[in-house]
Amino acid sequence: MAYRSLYKFIIKKYYCFEKKLSEKPFVTTLLSSGVILGVGEIVMQLIERYKLSEEKRKTWSLSRDRVYNMVIFGTVYSFFISYYWYVKLLPRLTYAKGQSQLKMSLKKVFLDQSIQSSIYTASFLYCMTRQNGGTHIEGSEKIKKEFLRVFIMDQKIWPLTQLINFYFIPLRYQIFVIEIVNVFWSAYLSFVEQDNKENEIEKDIEKERD
């Protein structure tokens, strides 16, 4: 009975999303992108809580600032990427009369991974550093230090995901698929961000001891 109620709830929300996507694609994409990254951050924090000892779990609380930062980044950045890149620009850059769907999809993957992925990764590392109080120099250093690590992981996940997405999924739903995968991807990005912070704190402690 509970599964049936959950199924009905999901279907209802899906049709609601479908309606909003048809009526207001830009606004719907803008808001959903921010929410997706926020959910990814919450998932990452819950994973972090799971790794804590029983004693530390009692005093654990969700970091709202981290969630807000991810939501803001997702909402603002989606203006440039989620909507204009995937819906407007990418289809125009890869369209050619008479070409097969597979060829067009491969072209999309190539451009997406070589252009969008690089810009997104660098923007995330820089913007999250600044949002957390870092300086321009610290943001630039974060890109130099972490870009390759994140980009390599990106290439392990997104090319195949996007090929399936571009080939099988209609254009209007492709952003939706990307955002579902983004829940897990944003969780990984949050891990990179926090892992780097913890390393910096440990270094500061060691310097104080010396």
Which residue ranges make up each domain of the chain? 2-209
Tens-digit pLDDT profile for residues 163-195: 999 999 988 778 778 877 887 887 788 778 776
Torsion of CA 34, 38, 41, 45, to 10 degrees: 170
Distance CA 16, CA 102 (A): 31
DSSP 28: H
Amino acid at 101: Q
Q: Are 108 and 161 in contact (CB under 8 A)?
A: no
pLDDT of the residue at 22: 67
Please report which confidence band the pLDDT of residue 201 belongs to, taking 50, 70 and 90 as the band edges: very low
Spell 7-31 as b/e; 16+ CB within 10 A means b.
Answer: eeeeeeeeeeeeeebeeeeeebbbb
Distance CA 141, CA 126 (A): 9
pLDDT of the residue at 73: 83
Residue 193's CB: how many other CB atoms inside 10 A? 22
Tens-digit pLDDT profile for residues 130-163: 888 889 999 999 999 999 999 999 999 999 999 9
pLDDT of the residue at 205: 46
Q: Are 158 and 121 in contact (CB under 8 A)?
A: no
Distance CA 183, CA 200 (A): 26
- What's the Cα-to-Cα distance from 186 to each of 44, 73, 85, 105, 206, rounded to whole Å? 8, 11, 19, 24, 30
Quickly tell me which residue has 């819950």 as its tokens: 46
Quickly tell me which residue has 């630039």 as its tokens: 140
Residue 103's CB: how many other CB atoms inside 10 A? 12
Indicate if the pLDDT at residue 32 is higher than 60.
Answer: yes
- Taking residues 30-46, report their average pLDDT: 81
What do you get for the CA distance between the two ends of the chain, in Å? 62
Tens-digit pLDDT profile for residues 84-130: 888 888 989 998 888 899 999 999 999 999 998 998 899 888 988 88
Please report which confidence band the pLDDT of residue 202 belongs to, taking 50, 70 and 90 as the band edges: very low
**Is pLDDT larger for residue 129 or for residue 4?**
129
Please report which confidence band the pLDDT of residue 2 belongs to, taking 50, 70 and 90 as the band edges: low
pLDDT of the residue at 153: 93
CA 183-187-189 angle, to 5 degrees, is 115
Instruction: List Cβ neighbours of 208 (8 Å cut-off, separation of 6 or more).
Output: none
